[in-house]
Amino acid sequence: MWTIVLAAALVASITFAVTFGPANITPLEVWGSILHHLGIGEPPLTALRDSIVWDLRLPRVLTAGAVGAGLALAGVVMQSITRNPLADPYLLGLSSGASLGAVAVLLLGSALLLPVAAFLGAMVALAATLLLAGAFGRITPGRTVLAGIAVSALAGAITSLIIFWTVTGDSYREILGWLLGSLAGARWPAVGIAATAILIAGIPIMMSGRVLDAFAFGDTSATTLGVNVPATRWIMLTAAALLTGAMVSVSGAIGFVGLILPHAVRLLVGPRHRLLLPLSALVGASFLIWADTAARSLFDPRELPVGIVTAIIGAPVFAALLARRRVSS
């Protein structure tokens, strides 16, 4: 039931979001143009205005959707595997690691390697966080978060160092926008990267609800339920790192999507992962599409990095979730 409602909401979000923008193009023309590219009907716009819809808006909206879905899924996995409601790709250092990898290759000048470097950065950061968390005893949720903060700080410092030494002129402006999370550069190749990550990591994660449910009861219970705990933990976290790396490589580090959306969906449908996973992906996609639409149209003709919008919406929502949790427990 919720799946249908939220899937419809996502389709509606895409439909409306592409009609927003600084250029005056009517919704009818926008959809005429998209349908024409899909092989239906005559082109309603000149080649140049058509390009606004097909080369700028649509890939950006689709990238926003895929990134939102990916970050929300990564958030669910991190929260579930670390049994930590505060876990998300940011808190455990994955995003900082991915940013470091991406900035390193960006400044070395290889755009092709970007997603790979971001993934490797996310993996190294994740491994460092978990090794650090387990270095002085059993891995506990609290220790994991603290280790994540340490790894984040180190990766952030190295990223700043690289930027400080290599940035010239005012190119810092663009790098800053990207570090804060921005979809301004999202074209069809970005859609390709984000969609591929959803296919090879997101879909398998969505189908692993049973395993994550088992994890929720603790390692021992999970083992008795037939789950190979260490192997599953690493497979799931690697998948989350893959998603995070791919998403960071196309959009920079967008915060709060992975943290708050799983909580919001849990309020709606409860903690069972079979429903939580796909619904978080759907809500994450719609959420980021709207956040990015706001980012590019609120201050037209300028635009905000979308990470600022998600943080401004996300931080109060998260505070409300914390307060609610305290009252109920």
How far is the C-alpha of 6 from the C-alpha of 121, rounded, in Å? 33
Amino acid 17 reads A
Q: Which residues from 104-163 bind another protein, rule CB under 8 A?
A: none
DSSP state letter for 82 = T
| Closest by Cα among 177, 175, 183, 178 to 62 | 183
Q: Considering the complex, what minimum distance in angstroms separates the CB of residue 38 from another protein?
A: 17
Q: What are the contacts of 169-175 at 24+ separation with CB within 8 A? A: 175/103, 175/106
Among 137, 169, 226, 270, binds another protein (CB under 8 A): 169
Does residue 255 bind another protein (CB under 8 A)?
Answer: no
* Residues of this chain, 42-61, that bind another protein according to CB under 8 A: 47-49, 51-52, 55-57
**What is the rounded distance in angstroms from the CA atom of residue 96 to the CA atom of residue 113?**
17
Q: Which stretch binds another protein (CB under 8 A): 20-28, 116-124, 131-139, 146-154?
A: 20-28
* 18 lies in the site for another protein, by CB under 8 A: no
Give SS3 for 134.
helix
Q: Which one of residues 3, 22, 153, 298 is an interface residue with another protein (CB under 8 A)?
A: 22
200 to 239, contacts with another protein by CB under 8 A? none
Structure token digits, residue 43: 């082109």
Could you say whether residue 23 binds another protein (CB under 8 A)?
A: yes
**What are 282's two structure tokens?**
């759907």
Residue 36 lies near another protein (rule: CB under 8 A): no
If one asks whether residue 171 binds another protein (CB under 8 A), the answer comes out as yes
95 binding another protein? (CB under 8 A): no
Pick the binder of another protein from 44, 75, 156, 177 (CB under 8 A): 177
Q: Is residue 21 a contact residue for another protein (CB under 8 A)?
A: yes
DSSP secondary-structure letter at 163? H
- Of the listed pieces 181-189, 210-218, 269-277, 279-287, which binds another protein according to CB under 8 A? 181-189
Q: What residue type is assigned to position 192 of the chain?
A: G
Nearest distance, CB of residue 112 and another protein, angstroms: 14
Return d(Cα 70, Cα 91) in angstroms, integer: 16
Cα gap 104→125, rounded to integer Å: 14
Residue 301: asked if its preceding bond is cis (omega within 30°), the reply is yes
- Alpha carbons 298 and 306: distance in angstroms, whole number: 11
* Number of residues in contact with another protein under rule CB under 8 A: 30
> In this structure, are residues 227 and 95 in contact, taking their beta carbons and an 8 Å threshold?
no
Least distance between another protein and beta carbon 300 (Å): 8
Interface characters, 259-298, with another protein (x: CB under 8 A): -------------------------------------x--
Residue with tokens 């976290």: 237
How many CB atoms are closer than 10 A to CB 163? 17
CB 65 within 8 A of CB 124: no
- Interface residue with another protein among 27, 153, 174, 324 (CB under 8 A) is 174
By the rule CB under 8 A, 178 interacts with another protein: yes
Q: Are 292 and 183 in contact (CB under 8 A)?
A: yes
- Out of 1, 109, 138, 168, the residue judged to bind another protein by CB under 8 A: 168
Q: Which residue from 141, 185, 192, 271 is in contact with another protein, where contact means CB under 8 A?
A: 185
List interacting residues with another protein (CB under 8 A): 21-24, 47-49, 51-52, 55-57, 168-171, 173-174, 177-178, 182, 184-185, 187-188, 296, 300-303
